[in-house]
Amino acid sequence: MRQSYTERSVRLLGPKGWTAMLAFLALMLIIVPAMHLLAPPDSALHVSNYAVTLTGKIMCYAMVAVAMDLIWGYAGILSLGHGLFFALGGYAFGMYLMRQIGLEGNYHSALPDFMVFLDWKALPWYWQGTDNVVWAIVLTVGVPTVVAGVFGYFAFQSRIKGVYFSIITQALTYAAMLLFFRNETGFGGNNGFTDFKRILGYSITAPETRVVLLGLTALALAGTLLLGRWLVTSRYGRVLAATRDAESRVMFIGYNPLWYKLFIWTLSAALCGVAGALYVPQVGIINPGEMSAASSIEIAIWVAVGGRGTLIGAVIGAVVVNLAKSWFTVSFPQYWLFFLGFLFILVTLFLPQGIVGLYQKLTQRRTPDAPNAPAPTEATPSTPLTQEHAA
């Protein structure tokens, strides 16, 4: 009983999951804001600017990780291009923030500083309308959706799979990074967009603004998780997982995998775009570094560390790895990449089901005679990751 996709997922979202979700929202929407705004700065209860920003940033990453898990864990498609979709959302919303600077830039022009510096007289056509927040939000979701949709259609249509797919997503991201690096393409070159002053007219560094952005990010993350759960527990999710495990068989019983994959792929990209848009005002910068190979690979590592195909594992992985990263980059910046690589190898070798898998193993061992516990011979089903290795 316990092993079916449906039931397994329902259990995860069950009473415990809901309690955790509500506790998380209460923390991010009430407790942290109160501690940031009300507690005096020297009090032990005060949450610093740095902590609020870091929390917001990590929640954005967690959203990206959940989006990645949807496509990697459930559809078996490893994307090494999710940094691109995140950056596209970030840039789209970043331009809105640039326009909000108004005449207060270094050159006191209505154009963003970098354009004045390039001696441009007018906004390029593709940035028209970005002073309108609604249009900026449309771009935030729309651009990653369209890019992923077109790219995915052709890739899935020509049955590009596995490592080939991963490589071309990486190539696409790299090409985009080169494009964004160039000054004359209108994306601010290697500095990207930064020095934001306002959002919707409010000061972007004001504690109240930070707290609102934090709350919005928490809601977006919670929404992403719920949407993901709903998807993977639907019949759609079962077909998707079946496509991952035996695609030709899925076709033979009358499904067209193209549309099944394209839907989750595009949705995943759109979620990354939203995460990017929430990231930019909190972190205060977006630059082509988000499209580097390392950034996209890191996203996959978060998911692998947390545990593929569980959604919550993606969140856990993003949080754990990024907390470690912020500690490392302060204490031993030069060792971070070594540590990350080491962590990835460790997880692949010893924790193929990530932290969530480890947790499940430990809790199951503690209650061997629980009702419905699987007999030892039929141990827990291997996750997709181990499946692939065994196959």
Between CA 391 and CA 389 the distance in angstroms is: 5
- Selected binder of other proteins within 154, 259, 338, 342 (CB under 8 A): 259
276 contacts 82 by C-beta, under 8 angstroms? no
Decide: is 154 part of the binding site for other proteins (CB under 8 A).
Answer: no
Decide: is 251 part of the binding site for other proteins (CB under 8 A).
Answer: yes
Nearer to other proteins, 135 or 263 (CB): 263
Binding to other proteins (CB under 8 A): which residues in 261-300?
A: 263
Which position has the token pair 């590009």?
Answer: 160
Integer CA distances (angstroms), 350 to 8, 74, 344, 346, 389, in order? 23, 21, 10, 6, 13
Nearer to other proteins, 152 or 384 (CB): 384
CB 250 to other proteins: min, Å = 8
2 contacts 379 by C-beta, under 8 angstroms? no
Decide: is 153 part of the binding site for other proteins (CB under 8 A).
Answer: no
Alpha-helical runs (H) found in 75-161: 82-100, 113-117, 133-157
Q: Find the part of the chain contacting other proteins (CB under 8 A) among 63-71, 90-98, 242-250, 294-302.
A: 242-250
Decide: is 11 part of the binding site for other proteins (CB under 8 A).
Answer: no
Binding to other proteins (CB under 8 A): which residues in 355-384?
A: 378, 381, 384
CB 238 to other proteins: min, Å = 6
CB 256 to other proteins: min, Å = 5
Alpha-helical runs (H) found in 14-132: 15-26, 32-37, 49-72, 82-100, 113-117
351 contacts 358 by C-beta, under 8 angstroms? yes
Decide: is 1 part of the binding site for other proteins (CB under 8 A).
Answer: yes
CB 116 to other proteins: min, Å = 47
Return the number of other C-beta atoms located less than 10 Å from residue 244's C-beta: 21
The one-letter amino acid at 28: M
CB 73 to other proteins: min, Å = 12
Decide: is 256 part of the binding site for other proteins (CB under 8 A).
Answer: yes
CA geometry: angle at 138 spanning 193 and 151, to 5°?
A: 85
Decide: is 245 part of the binding site for other proteins (CB under 8 A).
Answer: yes
Positions in the binding site for other proteins (CB under 8 A): 1, 3-7, 159, 231, 234-236, 238-239, 241-242, 245-246, 248-260, 263, 378, 381, 384, 387
